[in-house]
Amino acid sequence: MVKKLEKKKEKVPFIDWFLSSNGATSVAVVILGFLAGVILLLCIGKSPAGLFKAIGQSMFGKAGKNGSWNFRTVGDTLMFSVPYVLCGLSMAFANRVGLFNIGAEGQYTIGMLAAHIVAVCIPAFPGQWLLCILVALLAGAIWGGIVGFFKAKFKVSEVVATIMLNYVALYLYPLVCLYLLPEATINKSGRTADLAETSLLAKVLFDGSNFNIGFIFMILAVVVFWFIMEKTRLGFGLRATGFNKDAARCSGINDTGNITLAMAISGAFAGMAGAIMLLGSVRYAKILTGQDNYGFMGIAVALVGNSKALGCLLAGYLFGVLKSAYSIMQGMGIPKEVVNIIQGLIVIFISFRSGLGLIRDRRAKVKVRKEAEK
């Protein structure tokens, strides 16, 4: 790798730009992931064209040259990307403050549960869905905030604590649904009674697709993330805490409060994802028996998106496209697991990216030495 770089000495500016640009390396990592997927498909004797046809179908509603237009999939794909983007924002927000929130999964589940309770337990009224989303935000914020508080106050590792709370949330969901809610809200066949009509998110724009106003909330969330992080004093303090906790405290930033707040906001994003997934799909809620995994994928989204608002939006859309392609590929007879493998490899390549930093350091050292010799 190093040898190769030395050969291209004339193009130094580009390499230096590439090595120091997180956006460029993210794109490269995604391309590498797809390349690996294509090679894998070729190895087992399948044509990789199907993979890209499925992706084309999910992005533009048309599979290849001869396929017919079907805009329903475009709306579905956009909707698929909503939980990824929101969970990505959740992870990214914590990440910017120097925390690793592995608990988006639990915050998502709790948000879903909170929205569920509001949707089945109180009498229907117009605009109920908004209350559902707000309560979910709050529930997610509390679920995340607890961890932040423990971390700041008792130095409990947020990774371990969030993993614990993921499981508490996972089992709390059926526990509350099956034993604590009024009898009438339970349907014995693994799902609940129908949610109140007024609590469902209105479907708009794409005929017959799942696309609903939850998408607008996601866009709002992206804007809010960007605004808080980049444009407010609070965001500055949070980022300072992330860079160097001790230095931030010495310059008068309340790091205990910041860590709690950061985890709470982080949890709120995930909680919102839970509410939108619940209210935007079918009339009833399924009683969760396993994790939906959006929280964990959110980690990947945040990493590919470099924990920036726009980055998370794009990366979340990419993962939404892959998810959409996953179900389309099933019908095309292409091994759909390739999609999961591509996602896993993307994250592993992202972790290898820190190696580029080592190369960058070495190049800087060589440069300094050369200049000194002159």
Residues contributing to the site for another protein (CB under 8 A): 44, 100, 102, 150, 154-157, 159-161, 163-168, 171-172, 174-175, 178-179, 290-291, 296-297, 299-300, 303, 335, 337-348, 350-355, 357-358
Q: Which amino acid is at 35?
A: L
Nearest to 210 by CA among 220, 219, 200: 200
Buried b (16+ CB within 10 A) or exposed e, 214-251: bbebbeebbeebbebbeeeeebebbbbbbeebeebeee
Nearest to 266 by CA among 228, 293, 292: 228
Give strand pairing partners of 203: 212
Residue with smaller CB distance to another protein, 132 or 288: 288
Which residue has 């929280």 as its token pair?
Answer: 295
Q: How far is CA 1 from CA 36, 232, 309, 351, in A?
A: 19, 41, 32, 17
Buried b (16+ CB within 10 A) or exposed e, 141-164: bbbbbbbbbbbbeeeeebeebbee
Residue with smaller CB distance to another protein, 213 or 325: 325
- Measure the CA–CA gap between 57 and 69, rounded to whole angstroms: 8
Residue with smaller CB distance to another protein, 129 or 150: 150
Q: How far is the CB of 56 from another protein (least distance, A)?
A: 21
Q: How far is the CB of 193 from another protein (least distance, A)?
A: 19
Nearest to 201 by CA among 215, 216, 212, 217: 212
Residue with smaller CB distance to another protein, 17 or 171: 171
- Using DSSP's 3-state secondary structure scheme, residue 194 falls into strand
Sheet holding 284-286, edge to edge: 186-187, 191-194, 284-286
The total number of residues shown for the chain amounts to 374
Residue with smaller CB distance to another protein, 192 or 212: 192
Q: How far is the CB of 354 from another protein (least distance, A)?
A: 4
Residue with smaller CB distance to another protein, 32 or 132: 32
Residue with smaller CB distance to another protein, 100 or 243: 100
- Measure the CA–CA gap between 185 and 195, rounded to whole angstroms: 9
Q: How far is the CB of 333 from another protein (least distance, A)?
A: 11
Q: How far is the CB of 85 from another protein (least distance, A)?
A: 17
Q: How far is the CB of 156 from another protein (least distance, A)?
A: 5
Q: How far is the CB of 313 from another protein (least distance, A)?
A: 20
Residue with smaller CB distance to another protein, 189 or 354: 354
Strands (E), the chain: 186-187, 191-194, 284-286
Q: How far is the CB of 244 from another protein (least distance, A)?
A: 15
